[in-house]
Amino acid sequence: MSEKLNLTNSQKIYTEALDFCPGAIMGIRKPSNFVPGEYPIFFKSGKGMRIWDVDGNEYLDFLASYGPIIIGHQEEEIDNAVIEKIRTDSFCFNLAQPHQNELLRLLQKHIPCAEMGVLVKTGSDATSTAIRIARVHTGRDMILRCGYHGWHDWCIAVKNGIPANCYKDVDGFHYNDIDSLKKKLEEYKGKVAAVITTPIGHELNEPIQEPQSDFLNKVKELAHQHGAVLIFDEIRTGFRMSMGGAQKYYKVTPDMAVFGKAMANGYAISAVTGKREVMMSLEDKHAFISSTFFSNSLEMVAAIATIKFLEREKALDAVWKKGETIKQRSMAAIEKTGVNAFFSGIVPMPFFTFPKDSDDPTDKRYRDRRVLFFTELVRNGVFMQPFHHGYIGYRHTDADIERACSVIEEAFAVVAKAIP
């Protein structure tokens, strides 16, 4: 095995944080979601697609802040646009600023369904706004969902602290299983306001799935047959899979779609886009969406600069090319070593999973392989997450990709030798 990293400062700050924050860190950034004792807990800085922890260890960033970093950390063109906005105009006002229109015009240019849009802050803001629009548009309550859609009461998988009434009008169906959707639509016939799905399947710690057997078109057809609004959750796929998201890539246009993450290269903004008839229900039927910070313009300026950069540099073509290299080298390494592992996902969002060897509940070899594989990666400066797909960034250099591929190949070799 490779030499263990020095994580002294990370551990010290973590111990201090236990006095200030429940569990020290909230959500998916907790040490338990990585390999405890092997991964850093606190970062200090980033530049391009490299990041440094508080102990000075350097990593190639293949998690990209869970998706927002599409170009790179400290991207001067984007940050300078934001800094200039602060210096010349300020950004938090009683009323909106014209940047709203400029950004929505760019979204309309690229996103097939984006006849109109609403700007909010987070992915959960966007999905919840879309659900409210669908309900007011149809006059119905029931929501059929597939995939992860955020932390709000209606969609979160962990129900602790949430009254049952908050999600009684929400039910699920399975990705790439059109029959499961048919059954739910029949069960709630005449009651379904919206069908919301991620256009690719990315359940936690499961191999990523692309749509099979015309799945997305069939979902659209069924939703419309039952008078429901179709919503694509493109928080992850938007401005990464293509400039118009997965809907443009797969040529299936929903009634509404939500975007975020890569839209602004790390700045907190998201958007609900959709067909005019559906979106206007927000106004015509007097639904209420508001936040003190939704109209803040810094994030809009960052999003405008990000989208223009992606356009000009044809950045997503480069992202796909780099991701394809990692895919091919990784799949070859799996085949060569014979490790029981999968590479899955579209190439801008690579994922490694380790399936069980048997149904024997005492057989934990798959867990040991996963732990050892990601331990080798992080010890050798390649930062990925054991339970979440990764992301390729525009500022990953060819040398970065070569280095990552070499580390991945060696990690599989170590796993094959240690846990046949």
The CA distances from residue 366 to 4, 140, 355, 403, in Å, are 22, 45, 6, 25
The CA distances from residue 11 to 18, 26, 67, 361, in Å, are 11, 16, 25, 33
Q: Which of 276, 319, 370, 308 is nearest to 69 (CA)?
A: 319
Q: Do the strands 116-120 and 270-274 form a parallel or antiparallel pair, or are they unpaired?
A: antiparallel
CA distance 33 to 10: 16
**87 in helix, strand or coil?**
helix
Q: Do the strands 192-197 and 270-274 form a parallel or antiparallel pair, or are they unpaired?
A: unpaired
Question: What pLDDT is attached to residue 418?
Answer: 96
Question: What pLDDT is attached to residue 205?
Answer: 78
Q: Are 188 and 162 in contact (CB under 8 A)?
A: no
- The residues spanned by each domain of the chain are 8-73+315-418, 76-313
CA distance 337 to 412: 7
Q: Are 260 and 111 in contact (CB under 8 A)?
A: no
Question: What pLDDT is attached to residue 157?
Answer: 87
Neighbours of 249 (CB within 10 A): 16
Q: What is the 8-class DSSP label of residue 122? A: S
Can you tell me which residue has the tokens 């490299």? 50
CATH of 8-73+315-418, one of 3.40.50.2000, 2.60.200.20, 2.40.50.140, 3.90.1150.10: 3.90.1150.10
Question: What pLDDT is attached to residue 217?
Answer: 98
Question: What pLDDT is attached to residue 206?
Answer: 84
DSSP states along 366-400? HHHHHHHHHHHHHHTTEE-BTTB-----TT--HHH
CA distance 111 to 255: 12
Task: Write out the two tokens for 236.
Answer: 């992850």
Q: Which residues of the chain have pLDDT under 70?
A: none
Q: What is the 8-class DSSP label of residue 143? A: E
CATH number at 76-313: 3.40.640.10
Q: Which of 83, 208, 65, 84 is nearest to 123 (CA)?
A: 65
